[in-house]
Structure 1
Amino acid sequence: MAKCGGCGQFIAASASVRCSKCAGCYHRACVGVPPTATPSPTWLCPGCKATLPRTDNSATPVKGAAADYSDSHSLPTVAPSASLDLAQEIRAFREELSGLRADIRQLRQENAEFRAANEGYNGRMGAVEGRLDNIEQRFEATDAPSYDHLEKTIADLKVQLNERDQDLLLNDVIVSGIPESKAENPAHIIKAVSLKLGIDLDDRDIVNVERLGKVRRNLTTSSSQNDIAERPRPRAIAVRLSRRVVRDQLLHAARVRRGLTTADLNLHGQPKRVYVNEHLTRSNARLFHLAREAGQRSRYKYVWTREGRIYARKEDGVSAVRIRSDADIKEIFGDGKV
């Protein structure tokens, strides 16, 4: 059984046509030969016909495709298998076209829903913009003095809250300038400082002692537990005393002896000043720092704290003024740099 030279499938000899030149076998449907037609003995396949040289046939009348066959009246027909494949392709194309139409309808519906939702969002945004414009108009129409009065009220409330927080620290002192050590005992350090200042503190006089702030571990390394690690800026020690009179005595002794250093406490390293001051709130500490800088620029002779309150005096013989807020710094020192 030979193979068809066109489609490559096996073909019976009775159902095939054979080329007179190359002896190749073909399905009748593959080469367009009708089933009822009888090919001529000189029939050539399409491949062999393409290799024939061209001749001058201008004098010959045009022949139809059926002239090569003995049955000149037979008409070409389409093979049943080819017509079946074509029908299946048309059916598949129609199904794809129907699915495409359904997708287009769904897309149109979704587009309409999106437009409707977008219109709703636009309406809501318009309403919000209208309310915002109304609020802005009402705010612009509000009297400026009343707004300033509101700001002043808020500032006064902040000052009052800060003063209450400061009252809670009236029994506290801050000791700064003492280097840190891994094996240090803050209570022992405070007792040593008080003894150097001439005040003998008892264990009952100390309520709590702690370093302020987070531990910076990269700065607390030391070769041994007895060695004091050198720190560029050691954390301050906050001390809460049980009685206010003891705190006042300690602060008074620290003002009298201002030259206390770490060498007096037998601490290793370069001698550094040790300071004992009142414990201020964070707001008052910042305000005191700004007041000192502004006082130096304005040539004020004294800027100090007492009982958690900040005072300034231009020179001897002049009344002291109290500083409560940033506005007071601007008003008192008059340099506008706060």
Structure 2
Amino acid sequence: MASKQCGACPNPIKGQEYLHCLNCNGFYDLICASVSASKFKIMTKDSRKAWVCDGCRNKRPKGDNTNTPLRTNQASSPSSLSSGGTASTNSESQPSSMNITVRKTIKPMDMNDPASKAPNQVDKLPSDFRNDLLQFIKDELPTILRDALSSELRGLNTQMVELCDKVNDIKEANEMLRSSVKKCETAITSLRTENTKLTNLCKELETRVTALERDGQQQQQWARLQNLEIVGVPESEGESTVNIVQKIAKNIGVTVKTEDIDFAHRIQPFRSSGGKPRSIVVRFRQRHVKDALYASARKSRDLTTVSLGMGGDSKRVYVNEHLTLNNKKLLQICKTKAKECNVRFVWTKNCRIYTRKNEKSPPVLVLSESDLRKLIS
């Protein structure tokens, strides 16, 4: 399809943004049509169809010419014309034959002509009346102007007073607001100071609570310092836990008399034969007896239910220090962490937990979970 040519410039029209003249059927781009792109977008289809270019618009009459006189056919007929010069002379000398009305030329008014001057009406007034009128104007005009000006100024003064009152009210409100803001700032400063004190007090109390909890744990563990916990011994009806402790001591080569034992009992509720047996807690009257039994049990690896003369499958029997619940959890965490960090030794002595990375490294005391980071270093 051939591109359209703009009717006002030599450039071809590209795209769909152009206008089509209703009269001459010409195509015009928006620049030659003097139409902006935004105006073109809001034009309706009817307005675009009715659009007329500037050339066709200039050919239209600028106004109503229905009253313009037209020459009759007589003026242009050959009978009324003789030669070129004669026809021109006749048309100028006989305008009535062409139905054209020629008005008379109006001469400009001579301003120096006395007849053209308008009569002065004030001069026709009597001299006494004219003097009285002028005197009245001189006397009363200042008063009239003064009263009118005073009235206007009075209104402005009233408005000014009202405006001043409003400004004063705004000032008072502003002062009250400033005072409230200062009070709030003072209260906030006081609250911040109090908050800082309370924060420091809370930190101090947390430190004290932590210390008290640690002291309580140490006291509980100290009370169990002469205890041992035996795990893995099967339960039986009518058993004597004291005799079981003595059998274990004899099996690992330690002599324990009945009078050396303060008490020995199971510490968990009785369970069925299918569950794990309850542990035995034994308290010795003297600490050195407990230490000797525990040291021998650590060296012994063949302490089983069969070696103790108990029936059933052979199961390991463990002799441990009687730790508190928190220390048991901490010991379990240490063992798990030791496997992750390749720490070879984890043990307890005097109810305290120790770790050692290898045979050459020094032992590390673990009192809390925060000490576990020493395993990594």
Q: TM-score, normalised by structure 2?
A: 0.46
SS in 1 for 2:297: helix
Q: Does 1:180 align with 2:235?
A: yes
CA shift at 1:249, angstroms? 1.0
CA shift at 1:172, angstroms? 0.8
Partner of 1:210: 265
Partner of 2:10: none
Q: TM-score, normalised by structure 1?
A: 0.51
Partner of 2:348: 305
Instruction: Return the alpha-carbon distance in structure 2 between the equivalents of residues 298 and 313 of structure 1.
Output: 11
CA shift at 1:255, angstroms? 1.6
- 5 Å-filtered alignment, 1:55-94, equals none
SS in 1 for 2:306: helix
Structure 1 unaligned regions, length at least 5 = 1-132, 220-229
- 5 Å-filtered alignment, 1:1-338, equals 141=196, 147-216=202-271, 219=272, 230-329=273-372, 331-333=373-375
CA shift at 1:150, angstroms? 3.4
SS in 1 for 2:259: helix
Write the letter of the residue equivalent to 1:233: K
CA shift at 1:278, angstroms? 0.9
Instruction: Return the alpha-carbon distance in structure 2 between the equivalents of residues 241 and 196 of structure 1.
Output: 18
Note if contact 2:357-2:375 (Cα within 8 Å) is conserved in structure 1.
Answer: no
Deviations 1:70-116 (A, max 9, x none): xxxxxxxxxxxxxxxxxxxxxxxxxxxxxxxxxxxxxxxxxxxxxxx
CA shift at 1:138, angstroms? 7.6
Write the letter of the residue equivalent to 1:175: I
150-159 or 303-312: bigger deviation: 150-159
Write the letter of the residue equivalent to 2:288: V
Inter-CA distance 138–294: structure 2 relative to 1 (3 Å threshold): farther
Note if contact 1:177-1:275 (Cα within 8 Å) is conserved in structure 2.
Answer: yes
Instruction: Return the alpha-carbon distance in structure 1 between the equivalents of residues 338 and 211 of structure 2.
Output: 23
Write the letter of the residue equivalent to 1:332: K
Write the letter of the residue equivalent to 1:153: R
Deviations 1:210-260 (A, max 9, x none): 0011122xx0xxxxxxxxxx4431111000111111111101111221221
Inter-CA distance 139–309: structure 2 relative to 1 (3 Å threshold): farther
| Greater Rg by CA | 2
CA shift at 1:144, angstroms? 5.5
Instruction: Return the alpha-carbon distance in structure 1 between the equivalents of residues 318 and 202 of structure 2.
Output: 44
Inter-CA distance 204–157: structure 2 relative to 1 (3 Å threshold): same
SS in 1 for 2:233: coil
Instruction: Return the alpha-carbon distance in structure 2 between the equivalents of residues 256 and 201 of structure 1.
Output: 18
Matched positions, count: 190
Deviations 1:275-296 (A, max 9, x none): 1111111121111111111121
CA shift at 1:334, angstroms? 5.5
Deviations 1:28-58 (A, max 9, x none): xxxxxxxxxxxxxxxxxxxxxxxxxxxxxxx
Write the letter of the residue equivalent to 1:247: K
Note if contact 1:180-1:231 (Cα within 8 Å) is conserved in structure 2.
Answer: no
Inter-CA distance 314–147: structure 2 relative to 1 (3 Å threshold): farther
Deviations 1:135-154 (A, max 9, x none): x9788555756644432332
SS in 2 for 1:191: helix
Inter-CA distance 138–270: structure 2 relative to 1 (3 Å threshold): farther
Inter-CA distance 301–152: structure 2 relative to 1 (3 Å threshold): farther
Write the letter of the residue equivalent to 1:232: G
Instruction: Return the alpha-carbon distance in structure 1 between the equivalents of residues 233 and 194 of structure 2.
Output: 54
Instruction: Return the alpha-carbon distance in structure 2 between the equivalents of residues 332 and 174 of structure 1.
Output: 28
Instruction: Return the alpha-carbon distance in structure 2 between the equivalents of residues 142 and 271 of structure 1.
Output: 63
Write the letter of the residue equivalent to 1:276: V
CA shift at 1:314, angstroms? 1.9
Write the letter of the residue equivalent to 1:160: D
SS in 2 for 1:269: coil
Instruction: Return the alpha-carbon distance in structure 2 between the equivalents of residues 269 and 231 of structure 1.
Output: 13
Note if contact 1:186-1:237 (Cα within 8 Å) is conserved in structure 2.
Answer: yes
Note if contact 2:229-2:280 (Cα within 8 Å) is conserved in structure 1.
Answer: yes
Deviations 1:171-213 (A, max 9, x none): 1111111111122111111111111111121111111010011
CA shift at 1:164, angstroms? 1.3
Inter-CA distance 138–211: structure 2 relative to 1 (3 Å threshold): farther
Instruction: Return the alpha-carbon distance in structure 1 between the equivalents of residues 312 and 248 of structure 2.
Output: 17
Write the letter of the residue equivalent to 2:220: D
Inter-CA distance 145–323: structure 2 relative to 1 (3 Å threshold): farther
Write the letter of the residue equivalent to 2:260: D
Write the letter of the residue equivalent to 1:286: K
